[in-house]
Amino acid sequence: MGKIRRRLMSGDQRREAVKRYVAGEKVKNIAERLGVSSSAISILARKAGVIRGPGRPPAEVPQSNPVDPDPPTPPAFYTPSNAEVARLKAKGLGNTAIAALLRLPYKVVESVPRPGREHHDDRV
């Protein structure tokens, strides 16, 4: 087996690869035909939402709506307020723990001052 050089696939090649994958062609054969690795084909199919394997229904390509190319917006979830972050800081939790607990970016948690401390920028 020779070493396969890494190269990018064009949009047409990607569509062809997914089409062949859905048709049941072996991943190795698709990869050799397009000059990419077999893992590239598997990853491409997974990103396209195509799953096949034993005990699964036949693979289908998810249909995208050509009229609305934007993905649907996710439902609104509870967004923790600064007061919630401040409350957890008052309990003694660190920024990293709060960020993980509330699933917030660390920078957001870091920007909320600890209760009892005024946030002054007195650097000269």
**What pTM was estimated for this model as a whole?**
0.41
CATH 1.10.10 in the chain, residue ranges? 1-62
Predicted confidence band of residue 94 (pLDDT cuts 50, 70, 90): very high
CATH topology of domain 1-62: Arc Repressor Mutant, subunit A (1.10.10)
Angle at 73 between CA 68 and CA 78, to 5 degrees: 175
Mean pLDDT, all residues of the chain: 75
pLDDT of residue 37: 87
Centre a 10 Å sphere on the Cβ of residue 49 and count the other Cβ atoms it contains: 12
pLDDT of residue 79: 63
User: Residue 106 in contact with residue 76, Cβ under 8 Å?
Assistant: no
Predicted confidence band of residue 81 (pLDDT cuts 50, 70, 90): confident
Of all residues in the chain, the percent with pLDDT exceeding 70 is 65
**Closest C-alpha among 43, 53, 54 to residue 14:** 43
Q: What is the DSSP letter of 53?
A: -
pLDDT of residue 70: 57
**6 CB contacts (<8 Å, ≥6 apart)?**
36, 37
pLDDT of residue 97: 92
